């Protein structure tokens, strides 16, 4: 009988935890901190925005373009980013330019893609004095769609969302881990495209898709064990 009571208490605790998960699941998520921007993307170029998101704060992105564009959401953990930053610093040891350091910090992925596409290209040539005189040349190399495509072929694991090309996009994403998420809008056409991008942070108590199954499982176990306890009590009463 003691074991049955123990099982019943384990069941009620499981039921309590399951109900807590259910309450967390029922709390609605809210979209906050909208960030809007309008940009012209030159032919064969791409633009890039990044932020840190977690299972409790996802992002809602909507893109409106005047012509057909490609949109990607890429994700990398801070550990991966740190490794890539180290790789870039080791690849260009002679460069002491503060511009390069800022670029490595904020544009790690585009620079990694550039480095992988043009491994022999010395970065000081790209980020030296010519950045002031010929900025378009520098930008065209870093933000080239061909470089992006090569990079994505090499690192397909970082693609979180890759819809078919179009002019209007809307998507909500909660990463499964703490990730640096990068929103990429690429213009593969030969015309300049005007793009309106809005990114909202979506706050949720818990990742809904991940807690509903444990909640159901724990509630079922709890109810099951309680029923066993109730039956055994009834059975015991009927004997004595």
Partner 1 sequence: MGKGRPFLEIFTYVFDEDYRFPILEIFAFLFALATFVFADFAGGYDRTGETMAYSLVNTLCEFPLMFIFVVLILKNVAYGLGGDLDRGVMQTLFSYPLKRRHILTARLLSGLGIAVLLFFGIQIFGLFLLAPDILATYSSTVFLTYAAHLCSPALLLAGLILLLTLRLKRGGLALIIGVILFLAGLIFSGEVTYIAYATDSDVLLKIWAVINPNTVLQAYYYHMGTSGFLFGGETWVPSFSEVLLYLGAGYLIVAVLFIVGYVYFDRRLEI
CB-nearer residue toward partner 1: 31 or 177: 177
DSSP for 112-123, please give it.
HHHHHHSTTS-H
Cβ atoms < 10 Å from Cβ of 207: 18
Subset of 136-155 contacting partner 1 (CB under 8 A): none
Minimum CB separation of residue 21 from partner 1 in Å reads 6
Q: What is the 3-state secondary structure (H, E, C) of 3-24?
A: HHHHHHHHHHHHHHHHHHHHHH
DSSP 8-state symbol, 226: H
The gap from C-alpha 144 to its chain's centroid, in whole angstroms, comes to 22
Cβ atoms < 10 Å from Cβ of 23: 12
Subset of 75-114 contacting partner 1 (CB under 8 A): 77-79, 82
Decide if residue 214 touches partner 1 (CB under 8 A): yes
Kindly tell me which residue out of 20, 37, 102, 230 binds partner 1, with binding defined by CB under 8 A. Answer: 20
CB-nearer residue toward partner 1: 33 or 167: 33
In contact, 69 and 213? CB cutoff 8 Å? no
Decide if residue 199 touches partner 1 (CB under 8 A): no
Interface with partner 1 (CB under 8 A), residue total 30
Alpha-carbon distance of 52 to 64, in angstroms, equals: 23
Kindly tell me which residue out of 87, 160, 173, 205 binds partner 1, with binding defined by CB under 8 A. Answer: 205
**Which residue(s) pair with 180 in the sheet?**
52, 76
Decide if residue 1 touches partner 1 (CB under 8 A): no
Q: By CB under 8 A, which span of 19-27, 61-69, 112-120, 227-235 interacts with partner 1? A: 19-27
Alpha-carbon distance of 160 to 81, in angstroms, equals: 16
Kindly tell me which residue out of 29, 57, 95, 144 binds partner 1, with binding defined by CB under 8 A. Answer: 57
**Which residue(s) pair with 53 in the sheet?**
179
Q: By CB under 8 A, which span of 30-38, 148-156, 157-165, 205-213 interacts with partner 1? A: 205-213
Phi-psi domain of 44 (left: phi exceeds 0; alpha: psi -120 through 50; beta: other): left
Q: By CB under 8 A, which span of 20-28, 38-46, 138-146, 231-239 interacts with partner 1? A: 20-28
CB-nearer residue toward partner 1: 117 or 228: 228
What mask, x for binding partner 1 by CB under 8 A, covers residues 161 to 180?
---------------xxx--
Alpha helices (H) along 74-207: 78-91, 98-106, 108-117, 123-127, 130-133, 135-142, 145-154
Kindly tell me which residue out of 41, 55, 75, 112 binds partner 1, with binding defined by CB under 8 A. Answer: 55
Question: Applying CB under 8 A, which residues contact partner 1?
Answer: 2, 9, 12-13, 15-17, 19-21, 23-24, 52, 54-57, 77-79, 82, 176-178, 205-207, 210-211, 214
């Amino acid at each position: 009988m003691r074991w049955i009571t123990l099982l019943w208490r384990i069941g009620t605790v499981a039921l309590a935890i399951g109900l807590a998960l259910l309450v967390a699941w029922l709390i609605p998520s809210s979209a906050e901190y909208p960030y809007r921007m309008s940009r012209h993307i030159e032919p064969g170029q791409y633009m890039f925005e990044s932020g840190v998101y977690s299972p409790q704060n996802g992002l809602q992105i909507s893109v409106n373009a005047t012509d057909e564009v490609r949109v990607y959401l890429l994700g990398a953990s801070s550990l991966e980013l740190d490794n890539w930053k180290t790789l870039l610093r080791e690849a260009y040891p002679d460069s002491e330019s503060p511009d390069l350091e800022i670029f490595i910090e904020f544009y790690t992925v585009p620079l990694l893609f550039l480095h992988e596409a043009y491994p022999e290209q010395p970065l000081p040539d790209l980020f030296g004095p010519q950045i002031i005189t010929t900025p378009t040349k520098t930008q065209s190399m870093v933000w080239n769609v061909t470089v992006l495509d090569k990079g994505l072929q090499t690192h397909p694991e970082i693609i979180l969302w890759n819809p078919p090309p179009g002019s209007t996009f809307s998507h909500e994403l909660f990463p499964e881990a703490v990730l640096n998420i990068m929103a990429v809008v690429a213009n593969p056409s030969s015309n300049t495209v005007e793009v309106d991008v809005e990114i909202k942070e979506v706050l949720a108590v818990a990742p809904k898709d991940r807690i509903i199954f444990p909640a159901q499982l724990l509630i079922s176990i709890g109810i099951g064990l309680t029923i066993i306890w109730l039956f055994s009590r009834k059975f015991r009463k009927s004997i004595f």
